[in-house]
Amino acid sequence: MGIIERIKEIEAEMARTQKNKATEYHLGQLKAKIAKLRTQLLEPPKGSSGGGDGFEVTKFGHGRVALIGFPSVGKSTLLTMLTGTHSEAASYEFTTLTCIPGIIHYNDTKIQLLDLPGIIEGASEGKGRGRQVIAVAKSSDIVLMVLDASKLLFREDATVDDLIDVIEGNRKYMKCVYVYNKIDVIGIDDVDKLARQPNSVLNFDRLLAKMWEEMGLVRVYTKPQGQQPDFGDPVVLSADRGGCSVGDFCNHIHRSLVKEVKYVLVWGTSARHYPQHCGLGHVLNDEDVVQIVKKKDKEGEGRGRFKSHSTDPARISDRVKKAPLKQ
Q: Return the percentage of the chain with pLDDT > 90, whole number.
A: 28
Give the separation between CA 26 and CA 31, rounded to whole angstroms: 9
The pLDDT assigned to 2 comes to 75
Q: What is the pLDDT of residue 186?
A: 84
pLDDT, greater one: 162 or 56: 56
- Identify which of 108-117, 276-285, 298-307 has the greatest average pLDDT: 276-285
Mean pLDDT of 289-295: 93
Q: What local confidence, expressed as pLDDT, does residue 299 receive? A: 47
Question: Which comes out higher in pLDDT, residue 76 or 281?
Answer: 281
Q: State residue 286's pLDDT score.
A: 95
Per-residue confidence band for 49, with pLDDT thresholds at 50, 70 and 90: very low
Quote the pLDDT of residue 288: 96
Encode pLDDT of 56-95 as tens digits: 688 889 999 999 888 878 888 888 888 887 765 544 344 4
The enclosing H or E element of 250 equals helix 246-253
How many C-beta neighbours within 10 Å does residue 78 have? 23
pTM above 0.85, yes or no: no
pLDDT computed for residue 91 by the predictor? 43
pLDDT in tens, 178-229: 898 888 888 888 888 888 888 888 877 788 999 999 999 999 999 998 899 9
Report percent pLDDT > 70 for the chain: 73
Q: Which domains does the chain show, CATH number per domain?
A: 3-42 (no CATH), 63-214 (3.40.50.300), 217-294 (3.10.20.30)
What is 100-118 written as a DSSP string?
A: EEEEEEETTEEEEEEE-PP
| pLDDT value of position 50 | 45
Nearest residue to 166 via CA among 32, 265, 74, 54: 32
Beta pairing partners, 180: 147
Q: Are 73 and 147 in contact (CB under 8 A)?
A: yes
Between 5 and 288, the more confident residue is 288
